Structure 1
Amino acid sequence: MSRAVAIVGASAIPVGRHQTADDVALQTLEHEIMTRLVVEAVRDAGVDKQDIQSLVFTLPRPYTRQKYFHTFLMGQLRLACRGNVMEVMGNGMTAALAFDQACNDILLGRANVALALGINMESAVSATEHMMSSMRTTGDVDFHTSAGFTPIAWYAMDAMRYMHEHGATREQIAAVAVKNRHHASLNPLAQFRKPITLDEVVAQRPIVEPLGLYEVPPRGDGAACLVLASEEVARSLGRPYVLVRGRGFCHDGSHQISDVPNDMIGFTAARQAAQDAYRQAGIGPEQLDLAELYAPCTIVEVLVSEAIGLLPHGQGARAAAEGQTRLGGRIPISTSGGLTSRGHPAYVTSLYNYVELAEQLRGRAGERQVKNARFGLATGELGNYNAALIHVMEAVQ
């Protein structure tokens, strides 16, 4: 199709604790947060409310009090749409799929303006309840769940394998956390903004060896809204916008951890999806100016950065320790602070990745601005990158 999609507006709340416990007299209501973000994002875009013909929501957590959230919010917004109004679900890829579906509605001509939006509330739910739910929903009931595997355990095994195969050190992998916290210190949307040192990262209590507290994602609440439009509409607004240049998806046929012998740290789905996205965009990884990666742990950022061609195979941890992925380095990665410091409200995490690219590629990232940023990339994943969804973006001034 000849149509193209652009990001023209964005809004988000700082990642953190927003959910209120059941016994609190004054409750934080999800729809009050979300309606405000829609208004802010639409104002940022400069479009008219009646132009919006599709809204694609991330499925809220089961802890969200208001069910059928998408149609309830339509009533709050007093919107009537002929394109699509729906919720999508895809585990960690949920928000990336919402963005992708909103793009599709524009590409198919169902809408000229579409919203990708969602809210993730979980911080008032006990860690025990959340972890039991996470193990049961992410794992294979015949193996992972009964063995007590958690998602962090998958990544810890990746780290051990990577250190064994490539001689990477614990400190090199931990350097990713230091870099991300520095980026987060410059981001008003980040959950944790106090700078940390390498010694502090290494000294933290282990979560699953060799990953410590600062190398895994915190729990938190978040909400974001992106306004997408056809490129024709984007041009008519007379403002900078971000063009979606390429898209790639791949599922490798496994569930979290493959039961078929394979390269467990190769992230083949990410590699294939990236190749497709680059081919469609007409660029190579060497032309990227920054990347926002869905990387729940330090080791995941290392592995996916190698898989998508940002860094040489086996050199990702060393490159992070040398400062190559830091602001001002050769290829800044996770300029928002990444999942370990910006935060990881799982069902909307990828929306924050797109918000960061929208800010960077429109030259609005403030102290963390990548100079003359033209091309950026965002990744989404399922479990342990058994599947990847990747978008390549371009700045249009």
Structure 2
Amino acid sequence: MSTGGDGQNMTQSVAIIGAAATPVGKFQSKPDSDLHVLEHELLAGLVVDAIAQAGVAKDDVNSLILAQCRPYTLQKYFSTFMAHYLRLPCDGSVMEVLGNGMTGGIALEQAIRDVESGRSRVALALGVNFESATPSGEHMNSSMRATGDVDFHVPFGLTPIAWYAMDAMRYIHEHGSSRAELASVAVKNRAHAALNPLAQYRDPITLEEVLAQRPIVEPLGLYEVPPRGDGAVCIVVASEDVARASGQPYVRVRGRGFHHEGAHQISEQPNDMIALGALRAASRTAYDMAGVGPADLAFAELYAPCTIVEVLATEAMGLVPRGQGGRQAAEGQTALGGRIPVSTSGSLMSRGHPAYVTPLYNTVEAFEQLMGRAGDRQVKGAAIGATSAELGNYNAALVHILEAVR
């Protein structure tokens, strides 16, 4: 996938006009349950809600771009099944996309492309992720097979959390940071999640409690890594003339950037493991397309599975200077009320991480902030914000710059 070439010149300006999501939690039924929660029924209700919020008719929808479901989902070929279940004929696209952690972001990007090309006037980017009742061994084996390089780290059992733990150790070593600085990110994000009705974990935590948790992979403890969770999201994307005709506020897609560094998750080639080069490149493209810089952002909703990833992502996107991410987080500069609020939803660690749809949850938060609907976690006067999604240890990144139109 690339947002370069003709993607740099939109033929149709694009807007986000509706969004609906379930709270992140545990919906997946165990195999021996008497009653089962069905993915398509949960998702269909959100489609109805999002379309109603958008002020368009179901017949206006021309594309359905689905984040591919986890392998545990019983119904396969889910996109065409949903088109049938919704009785939704489409002239644009009916498809599923997959990119591990970036999956939801690619669904959004494809919906944007369908609209900007004129293929669709209204497109849905949507997905449902069930995994909470899947046995841990099966879940880990699936993750290892998806994220591992069979020639390099699968034989050694190197999990994604282990990548991030190595990043944390390297960051502490190179920049004189500390586990306490990194752990402050978890405290900050839980405080944000306490204000978010969609969040999986909302009880406040202290720095002492974070540091006291059992280690998952040193130096990261239980509260510094993402939980498993289920969720579903539907985003309504439309041409800007459709948005304007509604007479309602909307969010304009102002810039996008993508970069893949040609590595699978992590690379055996020597590199700067804590620079997140793909995110730096994708951010530059998005800023240039939008005609803005990091200082113009009111907030950033980042794909950050662990505390260290948020720190590194803020640096890669130019929100804080290199080597200062941990320190500025500990000082409160990335908290609500700080200089640049980051992860106002509560992040993957507290808002929750239904993996294949997580970037769509980030989009919901950005949409709510820019529409002025974020309640007690509202960033005052938010006019421009950014979202990010990652593939692997940010070996690939997707960035969207979004703008309020009120």
Shorter-chain-normalised TM-score: which range? over 0.9
After TM superposition, list the pairs within 5 Å mapping 1:258-269 onto structure 2. Answer: 258-269=267-278
After TM superposition, list the pairs within 5 Å mapping 1:45-124 onto structure 2. Answer: 45-124=54-133
User: What does residue 257 of structure 1 align with?
Assistant: 266
User: What does residue 354 of structure 2 align with?
Assistant: 345
Q: In structure 1, what residue type is equivalent to 2:355? A: A
Q: What is the alpha-carbon distance in structure 1 between the residues aligned to residue 11 and residue 42 of structure 2?
A: 36
1:33 to 19, 30, 42: 42
User: What does residue 19 of structure 1 align with?
Assistant: 28
The answer to whether residue 180 in structure 2 is matched with residue 168 in structure 1 is no
Q: What is the alpha-carbon distance in structure 2 between the residues aligned to residue 260 and residue 35 of structure 1?
A: 45
Q: In structure 2, what residue type is equivalent to 1:288? A: L
Q: What TM-score, normalized to structure 1?
A: 0.99
Which has the larger displacement, 103-112 or 250-259? Answer: 250-259
Q: Deviations over 1:192-217 (max 9, x none)?
A: 00000000000000000000000000
The answer to whether residue 137 in structure 2 is matched with residue 128 in structure 1 is yes
Which has the larger displacement, 272-281 or 133-142? Answer: 133-142
Q: Deviations over 1:214-239 (max 9, x none)?
A: 00000000100000000010001111
User: What does residue 286 of structure 1 align with?
Assistant: 295
Tell me the secondary structure at the aligned position of residue 15 of structure 1. coil
User: What does residue 248 of structure 1 align with?
Assistant: 257
RMSD: 0.6
Q: What is the alpha-carbon distance in structure 1 between the residues aligned to residue 273 and residue 152 of structure 2?
A: 17
User: What does residue 275 of structure 1 align with?
Assistant: 284
After TM superposition, list the pairs within 5 Å mapping 1:107-256 onto structure 2. Answer: 107-256=116-265
Q: Deviations over 1:11-55 (max 9, x none)?
A: 000001001011001110111101100000001101111100001
Q: Deviations over 1:308-330 (max 9, x none)?
A: 10000000000000000000000
Deviation for aligned residue 1:136: 1.8
Which has the larger displacement, 132-141 or 154-163? Answer: 132-141
User: What does residue 386 of structure 1 align with?
Assistant: 395
Q: Deviations over 1:316-356 (max 9, x none)?
A: 00000000000000000000000000000000000000000
Q: What is the alpha-carbon distance in structure 2 between the residues aligned to residue 6 and residue 133 of structure 1?
A: 35
Deviant stretches of 4+, over 4 Å:
none
Deviation for aligned residue 1:305: 0.5
Conservation of the 8 A alpha-carbon contact between 2:124 and 2:237: yes
Q: Deviations over 1:235-276 (max 9, x none)?
A: 011111110000000011112222221110000100010000
Q: In structure 2, what residue type is equivalent to 1:201? A: V
1:333 to 342, 345, 348: 342
Q: What is the alpha-carbon distance in structure 2 between the residues aligned to residue 324 and residue 270 of structure 1?
A: 21
Q: What TM-score, normalized to structure 2?
A: 0.97
Tell me the secondary structure at the aligned position of residue 393 of structure 2. helix
Tell me the secondary structure at the aligned position of residue 134 of structure 2. coil
Q: In structure 1, what residue type is equivalent to 2:369? A: Q
Q: Percent identity?
A: 66
2:373 to 364, 381, 393: 364
Deviation for aligned residue 1:177: 0.2
Q: What is the alpha-carbon distance in structure 1 between the residues aligned to residue 367 and residue 50 of structure 2?
A: 12
Q: What is the alpha-carbon distance in structure 1 between the residues aligned to residue 12 and residue 146 of structure 2?
A: 38
Q: In structure 1, what residue type is equivalent to 2:171? A: Y
Tell me the secondary structure at the aligned position of residue 119 of structure 1. strand
Q: What is the alpha-carbon distance in structure 1 between the residues aligned to residue 239 and residue 218 of structure 2?
A: 47
Q: In structure 1, what residue type is equivalent to 2:79? A: H
Structure 1 stretches lacking a partner, 5+ long:
none
Q: What is the alpha-carbon distance in structure 2 between the residues aligned to residue 382 and residue 278 of structure 1?
A: 20
Deviation for aligned residue 1:2: 3.7
Which has the larger displacement, 98-107 or 63-72? Answer: 63-72
Tell me the secondary structure at the aligned position of residue 384 of structure 1. coil
Tell me the secondary structure at the aligned position of residue 385 of structure 1. coil
Q: Deviations over 1:57-94 (max 9, x none)?
A: 00001111111111111111111110000000011110
Tell me the secondary structure at the aligned position of residue 365 of structure 2. helix
Q: What is the alpha-carbon distance in structure 2 between the residues aligned to residue 126 and residue 185 of structure 1?
A: 29
User: What does residue 386 of structure 2 align with?
Assistant: 377
Q: Deviations over 1:76-115 (max 9, x none)?
A: 1111110000000011110000000000000110100000
Conservation of the 8 A alpha-carbon contact between 2:11 and 2:117: no
The answer to whether residue 53 in structure 2 is matched with residue 44 in structure 1 is yes
Tell me the secondary structure at the aligned position of residue 29 of structure 2. coil
Q: In structure 1, what residue type is equivalent to 2:167? A: D
Q: What is the alpha-carbon distance in structure 2 between the residues aligned to residue 21 and residue 84 of structure 1?
A: 33
User: What does residue 7 of structure 2 align with?
Assistant: none
Q: Tell me how many residue pairs correspond in the alignment.
A: 397
Q: What is the alpha-carbon distance in structure 1 between the residues aligned to residue 17 and residue 160 of structure 2?
A: 34
Q: What is the alpha-carbon distance in structure 2 between the residues aligned to residue 195 and residue 376 of structure 1?
A: 26
Q: What is the alpha-carbon distance in structure 1 between the residues aligned to residue 261 and residue 71 of structure 2?
A: 28
Q: Deviations over 1:280-311 (max 9, x none)?
A: 00000001000000000000000010001000
